[in-house]
Amino acid sequence: MTWTTTSPAWALPVVLPTVLAATSLGPGLLVVRRLRWNPLEKLCAAVAISLFVTYLFALVRFVLQLPLASYGVFEWGCVACLIASVPTLRRLLRARSVRRALVAFVLLLAWVLALLALTRHYSGALTSGDWHIHYDKAAFFLNASPHDASVAGMVLDRPPALNLIWSHVMALVGRGFDLLQVTAAYFATLALLPCCLLAPALLRRGHRRSRGRPDALLIAALLALSPLFVQNATYTWTKMPSVFCVILGIALYRSGDRKRDTTRLAFALATLAFGCLIHFTAVPFALFVTLHYLARGQWRDARWWRRSMVVGVCTLLVLGSWYCWTFAHFGAAANFAANPSVRTASKGSVQANIARAAYNGVNTLVPYYVRRIGPLFTQHSTLGWVRDHAFLGYSANLFISVGSLAGVLVAWLLWRDLSPVRRAAMPPICALGAIATVLSLMYIPPARDVLIHALPDVWLLVVGMSALAFVLASFCGNIRGRVVFAPEQRFWRGLIVCAFVVSIAAWDSTSDVGIAHICMQPLAIMGIVLLAVNLPVMPLWLRSVAVLGMTIDFALGILLHFHMQHQIFTPAQDPGLVEQAKLNWLEKQTAGFTFVGDHFATIRLVIEALLLIGFIAALWWVVRSASSRVASPEAGGASG
């Protein structure tokens, strides 16, 4: 086998999987083999370490302008690490949890690749640009120099870790866009592994013994039927790999905090930091976990200080791998100026920034279908119109992003599981005080302007003010009544609130349809995992609601969406989609890109038939898992 910058077509079915497997496992398996962790933790940690090592190599090669042959040398090193780690891999495969997770990963990846086989252009409402920008960034790291005039504009606006990893793969297998699509889908699908690791931590206290471990195949089936997941996994951008780091970091942090394990805690914070270098999606979650760790600190305990030093050094080393160079090369001012959120916040007043965040927050929670907003786009295709409005709901609204009906079920599960362990009657003074506080806001001009801007309809204003009064009254009642929350409840309540508030505060413009697609994918994916954990013990009618919702999601958010992305635009054929879809097609044609779907254009009906069969199989597994109330003791989860 030889590594070249453009591998022959006949070798790609062997070369590309080998490169992806060695790059995502080889270095990490050597590191984790001596850790006293459970097998699934080791597997996920091996993937994270391998990706970080690959990113670090690609960055060093770019900065030092090492010859392209260094990519081949590094990859052979990864292959050697993988071969040397075969005994470790065999030990991991003895664990049923690892085997189930890997089987689920392979099936989910096959599903994502089948959807890619339908994709001949990217579209969906006003989707544009990002799919090409990330390719250009990866190609820039492969071909350009840090001294080029355009370097600041290419590397400072977005975290570059995954683009650097892509550039390494592109150097070995070729620069074709279809190859990048497969590469991006592989790294995005890795998000399943930490979901299987986190699932046991989401078990409700009263059901831990009765249900056993969550099933990895059930989690994979729900992700396969999630429009949010498959749309992100088939799009060439960096959010799903960042979700991988977020969920892995949270899972290891919860385990390390419970066991007071310095290694797990250090790895958890470092993984969250690495997620921030992949995409800013990880920032709200990394911020909360850091604050939670400090809030629980034993400030008079020397051991806690030593542990904190290790955690802090590991985290700073990960962040410093990128920001030390950019600060030295471009300066601190250029780094901050490149971030659009910082630019917008610095230009606007405090009142304007609060109004923007409040408006986006309401629109992210309340579907735009029930609000009066002007027409978002025009097109001649009825199916395209249905697809685009469904696409906006699945991507921009927090509840619908979990699923059309699953979002409501997950909200109910959260309400149930995060309710106080010991309730207390709400004092009347709290209710009256909350009502008075909310009404008084209408007499304070800045607060009134914010409320009216965020809640433009009368009924929305009434509902919103009522919800705000309820929250304030509950907060007051919890304090006065000394309501008891379990430590896990406090963690998850704080994480959800912090992630939501920071996400809407960081977005640099207003959106009429919501901004769940910006930084809230980890919340939606963890919501899907929560549904998979609870589905086996739900009442029959709730399971029926979940199955109905999955059917709707598959029809509108997956099958219809990818059917429309298979359409092409020619002088003789115009599918009548929104104008932005045509612009994306023309951009693809101008760049000379070949999509995966272009290779399978003649067998579209066969692929759609296979997708229908896969949907029936996934739905059958969901029903089968849900009808079995007691799971196998080892099924899909991490053993202690």
In 495-540, DSSP assigns E strands to none
pTM greater than the 0.75 cutoff: yes
pLDDT for res 221: 96
Q: Which residues contact 362 (CB under 8 A, 6 or more apart)?
A: 454, 455, 460, 464
Render 8-62 in DSSP notation, one character per residue.
Answer: -GGGHHHHHHHHHHHHHHHHHHHHHTT--S-HHHHHHHHHHHHHHHHHHHHHHHH
* pLDDT tens sequence across 486-534: 888 889 999 999 999 999 988 878 888 899 998 999 999 999 999 999 9
Q: Which residues contact 198 (CB under 8 A, 6 or more apart)?
A: 247, 250, 251, 526, 529
| Crossing angle (nearest 10°) for helices 604-627 and 96-116 | 150
* pLDDT tens sequence across 171-223: 999 889 999 999 999 999 999 999 999 998 887 654 444 344 678 999 999 99
d(CA 14, CA 601): 23
- Residue 319, in any domain of the structure: yes
**pLDDT value at 471 more than 80:** yes
pLDDT for res 317: 96
pLDDT for res 428: 82
- Residue 147, in any domain of the structure: yes
Percent helix, strand, coil in the chain, to 5, is 75, 0, 25
Lowest pLDDT segment from 86-90, 452-456, 458-462, 477-481: 477-481
- Residue 211, in any domain of the structure: yes
Tell me what the mean pLDDT of segment 97-124 comes to: 96
Cα-Cα-Cα-Cα dihedral sign, residues 364, 370, 374, 380: positive
Contact call for residues 531 and 415 (beta carbons, < 8 A): no
Q: How many CB atoms sit inside 10 A of residue 272's CB?
A: 27
d(CA 389, CA 124): 8
Contact call for residues 212 and 100 (beta carbons, < 8 A): no
Greater pLDDT, 190 or 457: 190
Q: What is the mean pLDDT of the chain?
A: 87
- Residue 121, in any domain of the structure: yes
pLDDT for res 301: 85
- Residue 91, in any domain of the structure: yes
Q: Give the single-character DSSP code of 206.
A: G
Q: Which residues contact 572 (CB under 8 A, 6 or more apart)?
A: none
d(CA 94, CA 519): 37
d(CA 269, CA 323): 17
d(CA 559, CA 115): 9
* pLDDT tens sequence across 36-95: 899 999 999 999 999 999 999 999 999 999 999 999 999 999 999 999 999 999 999 999
Contact call for residues 160 and 322 (beta carbons, < 8 A): yes
- Residue 607, in any domain of the structure: yes
Phi, psi for 422 (deg, rounded to 5): -125, 115
Q: Which residues contact 506 (CB under 8 A, 6 or more apart)?
A: 280, 283, 284, 341, 518, 519
pLDDT for res 3: 39
pLDDT for res 103: 96
- Residue 8, in any domain of the structure: no
d(CA 599, CA 346): 48
Q: Which of 238, 328, 311 is nearest to 271 (CA)?
A: 311
d(CA 373, CA 389): 13
Q: Which of 527, 504, 526 is nearest to 516 (CA)?
A: 504
Q: Where are the alpha helices (DSSP H) in 279-381?
A: 283-295, 302-330, 332-337, 340-347, 350-365
pLDDT for res 207: 44
Q: Give the single-character DSSP code of 557.
A: I
Q: What residues make up the domain containing 218?
A: 14-331+529-627
H/E element holding 93? helix 86-93
In DSSP terms, 570 is beta-bridged to 573
Residue 337 — pLDDT band, cuts 50, 70, 90? low
Tell me what the mean pLDDT of segment 433-443 comes to: 87
Lowest pLDDT segment from 106-110, 185-189, 241-245, 423-427: 423-427
Chain length of the chain: 640
* pLDDT tens sequence across 377-406: 788 889 999 999 999 999 999 999 999 999
The fraction of the chain above a pLDDT of 70, given in percent, is 90
Q: Please count the structural domains in the chain.
A: 1
How many CA atoms lie less than 13 Å away from 215 in the CB half-sphere?
20
- Please give the structure tokens belonging to residue 439: 């009404």
* pLDDT tens sequence across 608-635: 999 999 999 999 998 888 666 544 433 3
pLDDT for res 633: 38
Q: Which residues contact 429 (CB under 8 A, 6 or more apart)?
A: 476, 480
In DSSP terms, 484 is beta-bridged to 422
d(CA 246, CA 283): 9
Terminal-to-terminal C-alpha distance of the chain: 41
How many CA atoms lie less than 13 Å away from 13 in the CB half-sphere?
1
Cα-Cα-Cα-Cα dihedral sign, residues 570, 571, 577, 581: positive
Q: SS3 for 422?
A: strand
